[in-house]
Amino acid sequence: MKKNILFALFIFLSSFSKQNAQLIHTESIHLELGIPLDNNASNDYLIIRPQYALSYNSELNVPNWVSWNLHRGWFGGVPRYSGNFIQDTSLPAEFYRVKHGDYTGSGYDRGHMVRSEERTATAEDNKSTFLLTNIMPQTPTLNQQTWLSLEFECERLCKDQNKELFIVAGGIFGANPKRLNTVVTVPDSYWKIVVILDSGQRVSDITPATKVIAVLMKNEVYTSGTTDWKLYTTTVNAIEEKTGYDFLSDVPKDVQEMLESRNYLSIEHEMLSNTINIAPNPAQDQLGIMIPGNESQSSQISIVDIMGNTMSTSQVMLMADADGYMRHQLSLQGLSSGSYVLIIQKGAERYVAPFVKSE
């Protein structure tokens, strides 16, 4: 723990310049995609550890957000730390330092932001996740089932697909939030953003095709059938609106806007096995469509946004060519930039594919 504290870096964001932020970004893998900032720097106290980074709120006595890198190398075989959750004595003397007992008997779990299992390469890594600056009050069913279901998915992506994840998570608070032991503030809901890259990739490798998982979960009781994280997907934009923070700030602006507007899960759930080719993607004024077929046929083409709203529907003639494909050039004039799903209904056959409209 002493070594952990010695390597920690504490900075008030109110004194930040862009150069400070860039320097810290380059020194911490956990802030690879940028430091989330809002319009009130007075309650953002930045803590950077070898295992994760966070913004601590001394008014709420919980983190505003915790940010961390995750790949298969962070997983190991060390046992889970077995002591009490740890008071973070490295906080400034004027801050209240949350104790293990502040949660006792409250009915809320001490919910890890960086999961204990995600830091099992060394005993020091694992112990760092039990510092109470990495902990927030969660209902038992949220912590042990719904939130955990997404943690399992992150573990699967790392171990089975060799993905490298950049994750940031935190809570959303009401106007008059409940407090445990009069000090620890209880969020109304929780959010998490997971940027999915291949092993070794960094911010420079992010493209419009990069996948991002974003979820919003109520801090409430969950029952059977309601504990799958896929039920709570949303967009980064929606989380930014609710928290006031700017995420993925070091991603190029045009790409950032595309990524933050998408709900990837809704797109993936729409994908069917039927073959459809679209190009270019991202598209601008026109989108080329190609599907198997030997005869020209009138078909319905719809464009749906990531929230399921139909943006346009038209009846078009798909023209067959000598190669056994039906083709069409679809105009995207008047469609705002963003992420959409293209749906083609050709008789009883349905074809679905996501695409991006750029400026």
| 3-state DSSP assignment of residue 327 | strand
- Angstrom distance (rounded) from CA 152 to CA 295: 47
* pLDDT at residue number 161: 93
12-36: per-residue pLDDT in tens? Answer: 444 444 444 444 554 799 999 999 9
* 224 class by beta-carbon count within 10 Å (0-12 exposed, 13-18 middle, 19+ buried): exposed
- Angstrom distance (rounded) from CA 58 to CA 55: 10
Please state, as a whole number, how many other Cβ atoms lie within 10 Å of the Cβ of residue 308: 10
* pLDDT at residue number 182: 98
- Angstrom distance (rounded) from CA 85 to CA 57: 19
pTM above 0.75, yes or no: no
DSSP code per residue over 68-118: EEE-GGG---PPPP-S--B--TTS-TTS----GGGTTTSS-EEEESS-GGG
Residues 127 and 247 in one domain: yes
- Angstrom distance (rounded) from CA 269 to CA 228: 14
Of 221, 242, 261, the residue at which a domain comes to its end is 261
* pLDDT at residue number 266: 62
* pLDDT at residue number 261: 87
Residues 38 and 144 in one domain: yes
C-alpha angle 240-242-246 in degrees, rounded to nearest 5: 20
**Residue 267 domain-assigned (yes or no):** no
Residues 242 and 311 in one domain: no
Beta bridge partners of 341: 304, 354
* pLDDT at residue number 15: 43
Residues 227 and 315 in one domain: no
For the chain, give the mean pLDDT. Answer: 88
Q: How many separate domains does the chain show?
A: 2
**Residue 266 domain-assigned (yes or no):** no
Residues of the chain with pLDDT under 50: 1-23, 26, 271-273
300-349: per-residue pLDDT in tens? Answer: 999 987 656 788 999 999 999 988 889 999 999 999 887 788 889 888 78
**Residue 10 domain-assigned (yes or no):** yes
Of 228, 261, 294, the residue at which a domain comes to its end is 261
* The dihedral sign for the CA sequence 126, 127, 128, 134: positive
The C-alpha R_g of the chain, in whole angstroms, comes to 23
* pLDDT at residue number 228: 86
Residues 49 and 155 in one domain: yes
Residues 163 and 41 in one domain: yes
* pLDDT at residue number 307: 55
- Angstrom distance (rounded) from CA 16 to CA 249: 15
Residues 191 and 327 in one domain: no
**Residue 110 domain-assigned (yes or no):** yes
- Angstrom distance (rounded) from CA 199 to CA 220: 35
Residues 347 and 321 in one domain: yes
Residues whose CB falls within 8 Å of the CB of residue 238, separated by 6 or more in sequence, listed in order: 214, 216
Q: What is the CATH number of the domain that holds 146?
A: 3.40.570.10
Residue 112 among the catalytic residues: yes
* pLDDT at residue number 347: 83
Going across the sheet that includes 53-57, the strands are 9-12, 45-48, 53-57, 62-70, 163-172, 189-198, 211-218
| Residue numbers of the domain that contains 52 | 2-261
Residues 251 and 283 in one domain: no
* pLDDT at residue number 14: 41
Residue among 100, 112, 269, 328 flagged as catalytic: 112
Residues 135 and 283 in one domain: no
Residues 64 and 198 in one domain: yes
**Residue 49 domain-assigned (yes or no):** yes
CB 46 within 8 A of CB 35: yes
Of 227, 261, 295, the residue at which a domain comes to its end is 261
Q: What is the CATH number of the domain that holds 293?
A: 2.60.40.1930
- Angstrom distance (rounded) from CA 289 to CA 302: 13
Residues 142 and 222 in one domain: yes
216-234: per-residue pLDDT in tens? Answer: 999 999 998 889 888 888 8
**Residue 164 domain-assigned (yes or no):** yes
* The dihedral sign for the CA sequence 61, 67, 71, 74: negative
